[in-house]
Amino acid sequence: MAVVYDTRDRFLGLGWYDATSPLRVRMLHVGSPVTIDLAWWRQRLETALSIREKRFDPSTTGWRWIHGENDGWPGWVLDRYGPVLVLKLYTAAWLPWLDPLVPLLQERLAPAAIVLRLSRNMAIEAEKQGRRDGTVIAGSLPGDSSPVLFEEHGLLFEADVLRGQKTGFFLDQRENRVRVESLARGRIVLNTFAYTGGFSLYAARGGALIVESLDSNPRALDSARRNFERNRGLRLPRDAGHELIRADAFEWLAAPGASRYDLIVLDPPALAQRAEDRPSALQGYEHLARNAWKRLRPGGILAAASCSAQVGAKDFFQVVQEATREGPRLARVLETTGQPADHPACFPEAAYLKCIYLLKAGTRR
Ligand code: SAH
């Protein structure tokens, strides 16, 4: 723990010190001196829980309980997937606190299991302290195995809580998936960077004629297929068409191909990890949007998202609008969106997720 003073040696606050991170100190508290004990953590936990409790109806059992520094828990993310909690840490400073804090989570949230996920930068320090990524640190997983099943707006999904990306699922796109569902009726849909098929299932439930899920990772596509099949005939029409495409999305979209889609989702991983990646990330978004636009029929819709904290919403929207310009005319913007309320943002860079919906001119078939 670091105690932070101003230049005149006056107490400013307390934070986690991490010599290995560009974020040297992650502030826990600013203001008058406090004692950081279990009661203090309990109160922080209650504040975070109160934002999410009773927010979701029973058809949604996956959400973010704690969103890092935005909830006063810097470098600590806690997601719920049905009966399982996944705790992802981004700084080794938390490790000595696991022993006292894990029982607090058990007592308050009564999960079947708590899984620990660790960011790559802290793996060595964690190993020294006997902690490893993708381990169950309390209780046991249902059936003693991953993936774990949970529901999102009535659709059943699996999340690989031990090895999946982030904590196993991209909960932050929940509301954009609902929008895509509402736009999908009668459309041929291409979901690029599909991961485990989140947008694909919603599009199918919304009445898409056919959905194609494209990803470069075969394990993600296997999971997308399983997710689709476990909802078929229940929440998805029995005859809903779903095709998998294993490809590099940049290359696949750039290759010549017919303009056969009525709705395309572009949801790449963060293209800018650091500030210096910003120009190449913007080029990447531009390239994707330009080529996706070519694959849309008249009257088609492009939903383009970015989760790069390093790229602001204004720049992202501008670059996508330029890429989809037709002569002097900009495409019509149907909507722009950000991140859902279980992913609050308390400083500008924390508003990392943005999405723009654009309509291609022309009459639909
Ligand atoms: N839209 C998804 C989340 C996308 S995560 C959802 O709603 O759940 C980003 C995905 O992009 C990952 O599945 C990753 O495997 C995939 N990916 C990364 N680089 C890629 C590339 N060049 N081409 C295709 N897929 C890629």
* Residue 159 near residue 150 (C-beta atoms within 8 A): yes
**Closest approach atom of ligand 1 to CA 217:** 15
pLDDT tens profile 318-339: 999 999 999 899 999 999 999 9
- Residues in Cβ contact with 296 at an 8 Å cutoff, skipping those fewer than 6 apart: 259, 261, 262, 264, 302, 360
DSSP codes of every residue in 322-357: HHT-BTTBPPEEEEEE---TTS--SSGGG---EEEE
pLDDT of residue 220: 98
Among protein residues, the one whose CA lies closest to atom 6 of ligand 1? 198
pLDDT tens profile 90-100: 999 999 999 99
Which listed residue (266, 307, 355, 359) is catalytic? 307
22 pLDDT tier (thresholds 50, 70, 90): confident
Q: What separation in Å is there between the alpha carbon of 268 and the centre of ligand 1?
A: 5
pLDDT tens profile 250-299: 999 999 999 999 999 999 999 998 899 999 999 999 999 999 999 999 99
Q: Is the pLDDT of residue 365 over 80?
A: no
pLDDT tens profile 205-237: 999 999 999 999 999 999 999 999 999 999 999
CA 65/CA 170 separation, integer angstroms: 14
Q: Is the pLDDT of residue 180 over 90?
A: yes
pLDDT tens profile 75-87: 999 999 999 999 9
Q: Is the pLDDT of residue 241 over 80?
A: yes
pLDDT of residue 21: 84
* Burial group, residue 296, by CB count within 10 angstroms (0-12, 13-18, 19+): buried
Catalytic residue check, 355: no
**Closest approach atom of ligand 1 to CA 220:** 13
Q: Is the pTM for the entire model greater than 0.75?
A: yes
* Amino acid identity, position 323: A
**pLDDT, greater one: 21 or 108:** 108
Q: Is the pLDDT of residue 363 over 90?
A: no
34 pLDDT tier (thresholds 50, 70, 90): very high
| Ligand 1 in reach of 199 Cβ (< 6 A) | yes
* Amino acid identity, position 285: Y
